Amino acid sequence: MLCPQCQHDESKVVDSRTVARDGSIRRRRECLSCGNRFTTYEYIMKQPLLVVKKDGRRVEYDRDHIVRSIQIAANKRPVSAEAILDAVSDVHRQIEELGKGEVASKHIGDLVMAKLKEMDEIAYIRFASVYRAFEDLGAFEAEIEQLRE
């Protein structure tokens, strides 16, 4: 595990515990070179999962990509980091329940939009504006009107 501060590749585990909400393992580590402490999370991968993009490319599923996308959409909104991780865990669980080796990026986007709609309407609109690639104000207004209903 590379130290985020000095990039040294050896560290020792100081503390380890299971995170109840998603079954991940949280580890506190200490760099053996500079002494910096940092946190890592480990997730059990049940099967390799590929995401099929709009253009047909297949890329490896990256949970952190979903985390970053939701964080960007929820930037400066009253959405806690815990709520974001819970949403990501729920999306991940739904994807795993499909039991497939491949999932369309559109399906993942729809799951994320559903979670954001429950969490924060502004974050939902921000995500939708990028995800659905609104081309004009009319499309944006239509999405807001649908949200009001």
Question: Does residue 129 sit in the same domain as residue 68?
Answer: yes
Question: Does residue 57 sit in the same domain as residue 34?
Answer: no
Tell me how many domains the chain contains: 2
Question: Does residue 69 sit in the same domain as residue 27?
Answer: no
Q: Measured between alpha carbons, how far is residue 136 from residues 106, 129, 141, 143 in Å? A: 21, 10, 9, 11
- pLDDT of 58-75, one tens digit each? 999 988 999 999 999 999
Q: DSSP code of 101?
A: S
Question: Does residue 70 sit in the same domain as residue 101?
Answer: yes
Q: Residue ranges of the alpha helices (H) in 10-120?
A: 63-73, 81-97, 105-119
- pLDDT of 77-134, one tens digit each? 999 988 998 899 899 889 888 888 899 999 999 999 999 989 998 898 888 888 777 6
How many residues in the chain? 149
Containing structural domain, residue 143: 46-148
> Token pair of 101, please?
């080796």
pLDDT of residue 143: 74
- pLDDT of 7-32, one tens digit each? 999 999 999 888 766 667 889 999 99
Question: Does residue 127 sit in the same domain as residue 141?
Answer: yes
* Predicted TM-score (pTM) of this structure: 0.65
- φ, ψ for residue 101 (rounded to 5)? -85, -10
